Amino acid sequence: MRGAFFSALLELAEKDERVNLVVGDLGFGVIEEFARRFPKRFLNAGVAEQNMTGIAAGMALSGKIVFTYSIANFPILRCLEQVRNDVCYHNANVKIVAVGGGLAYGALGATHHATEDLAILRSLPQMVVVAPGDPVETEAATRAVTAHSGPCYLRLGRAGEAKVHRTKIDFILGKAVEMRVGSDLALISTGGMLGTAMQVADLLCEAGIETRVLSMHTVRPLDTAAIESAARDTGAVFTIEEHSVTGGLGGAVAEFLAENWEAPVVFKRFGLPSEFSCFVGSQEYMRTRHGLSAEAVALGIRARMEKAQSLTAVAKV
């Protein structure tokens, strides 16, 4: 995803001189080309994320489109007051990019686990929250947030994520992408769990369960029409994310269903527990330890569906 982001950013900067990049002394190996080609539109603010964000807000208020870039929690949580007061309060045209969403930096411990960011950022007024599922969505999302006037958060994987989409997509902020049709249940994914969601659908298909898969790349604004359609057509909605189950995609979907959907619907969130992980290791290892492997999620879905069917049968007696 990181490579797809910078490829799109370079092309956008070539066409629009308003595009600027401010980094927090991180990203080496991918930022050099931007700095070389656009030296007057590149700034390394150093290990000072509060300053980085304040500078970006000031530049944006002077008419520029400013990307801030750092890893995991650094460009958001370390400078949250500046994000809230400097960027969101002024509706500044700042695009905050965090590389390494979820457990991508699993080996570096809890300080580098970006597992509460979606919940926190989607609570901020004006903020658009985007977590693309693969490099194809990343490229499209970079273009979309650049065109959007106002604060955006772009949550990326670290590197090496496989393409899930085989062709270009019609990417619109706030509109989910239907990856797979199905009438038995709907599985809604955000961020880097998209590939896993597709694997889960394959496993369920082997058991005769047809699964609709939605890539909810934009957590705010949420595609409530797609959620409503999924609930109406399948009666069972599941969410999957590499994020705390508190306040992220699952929380957003649950809020909508609780307040707007009258018919019974089977629902369950798959994500990380709301606690600091005591494990360290590769992203794949961390996902497995926290029950986010395709096999574990498929088993969890089947168990929830069987429980719902059992309760329905009891209610009819």
In the structure, what pLDDT confidence band is assigned to residue 315 with cuts at 50, 70 and 90? low
> Strand 211-215 vs strand 185-189: parallel, antiparallel, or unpaired?
parallel
Per-residue model confidence (pLDDT) at position 290: 96
The Cβ of residue 76 has, within 10 Å, a number of other Cβ atoms equal to 24
> Is the confidence at residue 317, as pLDDT, over 60?
no
Q: Which residue has the tokens 């902020």?
A: 173
Question: CA gyration radius for the chain?
Answer: 20
Distance CA 276, CA 261 (A): 33
> Strand 236-244 vs strand 177-180: parallel, antiparallel, or unpaired?
unpaired
In the structure, what pLDDT confidence band is assigned to residue 49 with cuts at 50, 70 and 90? very high
Per-residue model confidence (pLDDT) at position 226: 98
On whether the CB atoms of residues 302 and 270 are closer than 8 A, the answer is no
On whether the CB atoms of residues 234 and 212 are closer than 8 A, the answer is yes
Mean pLDDT of 90-101: 97
Mean pLDDT of 29-47: 95
Of the CA atoms within 13 Å of residue 192, those in its CB half-sphere come to 26
Going from the N-terminus, what domains does the chain have, and what CATH number goes with each? 2-156 (3.40.50.970), 177-316 (3.40.50.920)
Least reliable range by pLDDT among 24-28, 74-78, 168-172: 24-28
Distance CA 209, CA 232 (A): 17
Per-residue model confidence (pLDDT) at position 139: 97
Distance CA 53, CA 48 (A): 9
Q: What is the mean pLDDT of the chain?
A: 95
Per-residue model confidence (pLDDT) at position 119: 98
Distance CA 104, CA 192 (A): 9
Of the CA atoms within 13 Å of residue 289, those in its CB half-sphere come to 12
Sign of CA dihedral 247, 248, 251, 257: positive
Give the three-state DSSP class for 243: strand
Eight-state DSSP code of residue 75 = T
- Closest among 116, 115, 77, 119 to 96, alpha carbons compared: 77
Distance CA 7, CA 9 (A): 5
Eight-state DSSP code of residue 184 = S
Per-residue model confidence (pLDDT) at position 178: 97
pLDDT one-digit tens code per residue, 237-249: 999 999 999 999 9
Sign of CA dihedral 43, 47, 52, 54: negative
Q: What is the pTM of this model?
A: 0.96
pLDDT one-digit tens code per residue, 164-176: 999 889 999 999 9
> Strand 266-272 vs strand 218-220: parallel, antiparallel, or unpaired?
unpaired
> Is the confidence at residue 5, as pLDDT, over 70?
yes
Mean pLDDT of 52-75: 97
Q: Give, in order, the Cα–Cα distances in Å from 305 to each of 102, 159, 184, 188.
A: 27, 35, 10, 16
Contact partners, residue 298, CB within 8 Å, separation at least 6 = 200, 203, 204
Per-residue model confidence (pLDDT) at position 309: 84
In the structure, what pLDDT confidence band is assigned to residue 277 with cuts at 50, 70 and 90? very high
On whether the CB atoms of residues 43 and 71 are closer than 8 A, the answer is no
Mean pLDDT of 27-43: 93
pLDDT one-digit tens code per residue, 110-166: 999 999 999 999 999 999 999 999 999 999 999 999 999 999 999 999 878 899 999
pLDDT one-digit tens code per residue, 174-221: 999 999 999 999 999 999 999 999 999 999 999 999 999 999 999 999
Query: From its phi and psi, is residue 100 left (phi > 0), alpha (psi between -120 and 50) or beta?
Result: left
